[in-house]
């Protein structure tokens, strides 16, 4: 099962990453983009490179389907243990007045969720 973490969100959009997530990334760069779920997808650097290589090898018609992922991507560099969520993602996912967010590890890196939306989105069959 993937790890999940509740973390504080500062008024500046800063989150302190758990050491577990920092250690899994091979660089200080994280790639923020949209998800098919109502959350922010954050790729670890090495997995973003692998994903972009995979998409580049796909037929053009299939590449077109993942275009929104690439259109919204933004690279953010970790400062000590702090990541700053880009403002446009905070706005899009209504995180402005939230005191904390929920990080859920996945096969690409992790997702950033509004805790209330995550609780509503989680189906009974997915609860531990």
Give mean pLDDT in consecutive 10-residue pieces for the chain, a chain of 128 residues.
Answer: 86 94 94 93 94 89 82 94 95 90 94 90 58
Report how far Cα 108 is from the mean position of its chain's Cα atoms.
Answer: 9
pLDDT of residue 115: 87
* Full domain range(s) for residue 27: 4-126
With the C-alpha atoms ordered 23, 119, 36, 31, is the resulting torsion angle positive or negative?
Answer: negative
CATH of residue 84's domain is: 3.40.1550.20
CA distances to 85, 90, 105 from 2, in Å: 22, 24, 5
pTM of the model: 0.87
Structural domains in the chain (count): 1
* Interval 36-45: pLDDT, tens: 889 999 999 9
CA distance 94 to 57: 35
pLDDT at position 36: 86
């Amino acid at each position: 099962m993937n790890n999940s973490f509740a973390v504080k969100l500062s008024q500046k959009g800063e989150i302190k990453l758990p050491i577990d997530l920092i250690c899994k990334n091979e660089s200080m760069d994280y790639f923020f983009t949209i998800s098919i779920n109502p959350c922010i997808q954050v790729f670890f650097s090495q997995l973003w490179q692998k994903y972009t290589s995979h998409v580049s090898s796909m037929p053009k018609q299939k590449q077109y389907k993942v275009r929104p992922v690439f259109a919204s991507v933004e690279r953010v560099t970790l400062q000590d243990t702090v990541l700053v969520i880009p403002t446009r993602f905070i706005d899009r996912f209504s995180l402005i007045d939230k005191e904390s967010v929920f990080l859920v590890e996945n096969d690409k890196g992790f997702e950033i969720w509004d805790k209330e939306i995550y609780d509503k989105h989680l189906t009974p069959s997915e609860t531990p």
